[in-house]
């Protein structure tokens, strides 16, 4: 197994760490977070300021485990820092997920338990496809985006960067969702949503700018 560090703590990091352990490809030697903590027995290695020294020590793989946090730009900043140092940031797929042959996953992406990604879909860097989410055929998910628990994207949906589709939401086929959009939990999206909007309800309506 390849030694790796886990970037981030909290509940999402626990889910990622479990998928890593179940996958058997990487050995997590410790975690890097802002403040000292113990995550499932993995030791704290320091904060982001330690990343360069950790890389120089010979650990070249970083598992990205920072949750959405409401703003994808935080995750984008950390990911770019890891890449600039030289870390390999692999996609992590829980063994229970189902991915069609040829599915494209960007670096740092996480696919959680029971998620399904169908034929021809592309998921860009550091996105989260969370527990039980369904991504149907030919969807394109922008970088740093979060498809939350139980959300469903029908065929040929396009979603921009740093957006979030809330838990249990549905986006019908061939709809476009812009950058920095928040789709509320349980919403049903039947029309395109422009950049930087919050959309809620059934059918979903854009109610305000996502600031």
Out of 70, 85, 100, a domain closes at 85
State whether 136 and 117 are in the same domain: yes
Domain with 112, as residue range(s), is 92-200
Confidence of residue 211 (pLDDT cuts 50, 70, 90): low
pLDDT tens for 120-172 read 999 999 999 999 999 999 999 999 999 999 999 999 999 999 999 999 999 99
Domain closes at, from 53, 69, 85: 85
Residues 65 and 10 in one domain: yes
**Over residues 177-204, mean pLDDT:** 96
Q: Which of 79, 83, 90 is nearest to 145 (CA)?
A: 79
Cα distances (angstroms) measured from residue 195 to each of 44, 61, 131: 38, 33, 26
Nearest to 145 by CA among 60, 210, 48, 62: 210
CA atoms 188, 178, 81, 22: torsion sign: positive
Domain final residue pick, 58, 85, 112 = 85
Let me know if residue 129 belongs to a domain. yes
Q: Is 128 strand, coil or helix? A: strand
How confident is the model at residue 73, as a pLDDT? 79
Are residue 6 and residue 60 in the same domain, yes or no? yes
Q: Are residues 36 and 10 in the same domain?
A: yes
What digits encode the pLDDT tens for the residues 96-131? 999 999 999 999 999 999 999 999 999 999 999 999
pTM to 2 decimals?
A: 0.94
Q: Is 25 exposed, middle or buried (0-12, 13-18, 19+ CB in 10 A)?
A: middle
């Amino acid at each position: 197994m390849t030694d790796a560090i886990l970037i981030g703590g909290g509940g999402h990091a626990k889910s990622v760490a479990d998928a890593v352990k179940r996958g058997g490809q990487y050995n997590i030697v410790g975690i890097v977070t802002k403040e000292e903590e113990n995550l499932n027995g993995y030791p704290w290695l320091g904060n982001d300021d330690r990343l360069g020294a950790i890389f120089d020590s010979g650990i070249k793989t970083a598992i990205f485990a920072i949750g959405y946090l409401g703003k994808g730009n935080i995750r984008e900043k950390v990911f770019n820092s890891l890449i600039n140092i030289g870390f390999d940031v692999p996609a992590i797929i829980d063994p229970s997920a189902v991915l069609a042959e040829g599915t494209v996953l960007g670096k740092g992406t996480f696919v959680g338990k029971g998620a399904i990604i169908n034929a021809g879909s592309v998921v860009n860097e550091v996105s989260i496809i969370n527990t039980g989410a369904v991504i149907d055929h030919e969807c394109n998910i922008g970088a740093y985006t979060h498809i939350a628990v139980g959300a469903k994207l029908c065929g040929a949906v396009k979603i921009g960067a740093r957006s979030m589709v809330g838990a249990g939401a549905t986006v019908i086929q061939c709809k476009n969702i812009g950058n920095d959009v928040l789709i509320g939990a349980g919403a049903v999206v039947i029309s395109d949503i422009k950049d930087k909007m919050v959309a809620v309800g059934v059918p979903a309506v854009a109610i305000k700018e996502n600031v």
